[in-house]
Chain A
């Protein structure tokens, strides 16, 4: 600004050259002064710019030296009806700047009052390193605790806002959901799927994710009903654990997947006995496997359900002898073999097909290869190295081959749904997505198997009669498998299971219940058989989830209605309150 008049004057001087001599004599001097003033001003501005640039550079390098509090903003996880299972909430994370902490011991002692489980020595050590400018003290604090720390008034302590994963439903479906690490990054289960497929946003601070929620195929109501019923079964039959699965046999959507003892996604627990018993572990499933053997024999047109087979003689397999638990001492039809769960009969059917075709059939039914779902790989099946006669015999009734219940349920779904391949999924399918129609067995075989499974529950002689739920046409197969122990099988330690589907004229859902090491009780008449414990549990599960899934019982459907409502008596009961 100062330079302008000087310049103007100089210009004026030059213009007036020759007219005003005395001014012209001063002209060069004035120009020089103006130029100097200008140069000085520019130098001052330049120096200031350099100073600012250096100063801000210093600040950037200082903040880069600190631990950058990076966190991940995750989309919500909801059930198929939109009910919340996992979400991000803002939490406070406490950090210290050791260079600014005045009294180290006072700080540690006061913090220990708020956090009784604080590792004092570790923190004292961290704080004594004055070269560090950033030390995490505790992350993910609820607002009240953060306020308590704030009230201590300790210098050198500060908070950062971070995102923390919250699981409002508690332990419900804990195994499926998985968990995240301290940086809010998915480590297991669906949480890991969210990281790998759906995507998370890397954020500084507590910025919530913008992504739409991940909609699971699970139904909270059904999941809870299954968890409650199998927990009841654990008490009732004094079992060590239990598992329950509900699968849509058409789409492969998992509506409930429960495993007890349960896990809390908020507090990951990697105990071996808390493994996911549905998809994370493999078991020899025992007689439920006969579903596959019988389906194979019928599908390969080796037999019909009416074919009579002589099962009176025990079967020798190497050094073992295969015998039936309750031998009937008469030739049995294939249907009877299924209904009475004859080991000898199943073995003879498998032998009739031969080891190679038996193995091929199992591979075709997707039980020998590793299966993947969104919640990660299903535990890989353990299958015999080579398929000889012995492996075929033991495999025919579910021994010598161990697989995850989820993988078996997928094969069983194909048997009841008309023979179509089913890929289990934990993500809700779009209504218009459609399902690939890949036939695994013929529809006629599926029809025959459905009749056999229904008879197994409907008839007095059937092993599954205690699973009957009036109006839902339940069908199924029991399995009582001895658990392998050191040097052989443990006789009284069994996995008793019941695989059911309903309604059997056009199955919609498959229910698989497994009880681990149930004890003989008065209620089970001193037995540990699946027909006494797993079958009634499956019945109770179906009775409870049927109404939740909007299934109309046959007696109601026969009365002419297609919809559903509570009957008059139930309504009157509610009215009376």
Chain B
């Protein structure tokens, strides 16, 4: 009888210990999960800011003066030609010419 009681007590203590340690592990994992979630949240926030900044830097209002400063201007219909086979191929060289022909068609 005593043996059974002793065994039960040991079992109780052992299971309490297992329970405590798994509880401790769970808490630790929970802390890590929430830490990761915070990191994800922060990364998402940062991405949103970077996306906004990228769009802000690429806005036409900013690009236009820069492009004009480089001597560029808006494309006009006079610059468009649909004869990539001959003239353009010559101008672009063999490799580039092949690529643009593919794109043009």
Establish whether residues B92 and A560, one from each chain, have CB atoms under 8 Å apart when the complex forms. no
**Given the interface contacts A547-B79, A548-B75, does A563 sit within 8 Å of B61 by beta carbon?**
no
Contacts A470-B77, A556-B83, A560-B83 known; 12 new A-B pairs at CB < 8 A: A84-B51, A89-B48, A208-B45, A221-B60, A559-B83, A563-B104, A565-B81, A565-B88, A567-B80, A571-B92, A572-B91, A577-B71
When C-beta atoms are compared, the residue in chain B nearest to A85 turns out to be: B55
> A170 near B: Cβ within 8 Å?
yes
Mask of A220-262 contacts with B, CB within 8 angstroms, 1/0: 1100110010000000000000000000000000000000000
> B95 near A: Cβ within 8 Å?
no
* Nearest CB of A to B69, in Å: 12
Question: Given the complex, which residues of A lie within 8 Å of B76, measured CB to CB?
Answer: 543-544, 547
> A104 near B: Cβ within 8 Å?
no
Which one of B54, B61, B70, B82 lies within 8 Å of A556 (CB-CB)?
A: B82
Question: Given the complex, which residues of B lie within 8 Å of A544, measured CB to CB?
Answer: 74, 76
> B53 near A: Cβ within 8 Å?
yes
- Report the Cα distance A471→B56, complex, angstroms: 35
Establish whether residues B55 and A556, one from each chain, have CB atoms under 8 Å apart when the complex forms. no
Which chain A residues in 539-577 approach chain B with CB under 8 Å? 543-544, 546-548, 551-553, 556-557, 559-572, 575, 577
Q: What is the predominant secondary structure among interface residues of chain A facing chain B?
A: mixed
Interface size class of A (residues with CB under 8 A): 35 or more
When C-beta atoms are compared, the residue in chain B nearest to A171 turns out to be: B61
Q: Which residues of A contact B (CB under 8 A)?
A: 8, 83-85, 87-90, 166, 168-170, 172, 206-208, 220-221, 224-225, 228, 469-472, 543-544, 546-548, 551-553, 556-557, 559-572, 575, 577
Question: Given the complex, which residues of B lie within 8 Å of A547, measured CB to CB?
Answer: 74-77, 79-80
Interface centre among B45, B77, B79, B104 (most CB of A within 10 A): B77
Question: Given the complex, which residues of B lie within 8 Å of A169, measured CB to CB?
Answer: 55-56, 59-61
Which chain B residues in 1-31 approach chain A with CB under 8 Å? 5
Mask of B34-75 contacts with A, CB within 8 angstroms, 1/0: 000000010011001101111110111100100000110011
Establish whether residues A561 and B52, one from each chain, have CB atoms under 8 Å apart when the complex forms. no
Establish whether residues A556 and B81, one from each chain, have CB atoms under 8 Å apart when the complex forms. yes
- Report the Cα distance A568→B105, complex, angstroms: 17
* Nearest CB of B to A77, in Å: 11
- Report the Cα distance A557→B104, complex, angstroms: 12
Interface centre among A544, A547, A565, A570 (most CB of B within 10 A): A565
Question: Given the complex, which residues of A lie within 8 Å of B49, measured CB to CB?
Answer: 89-90
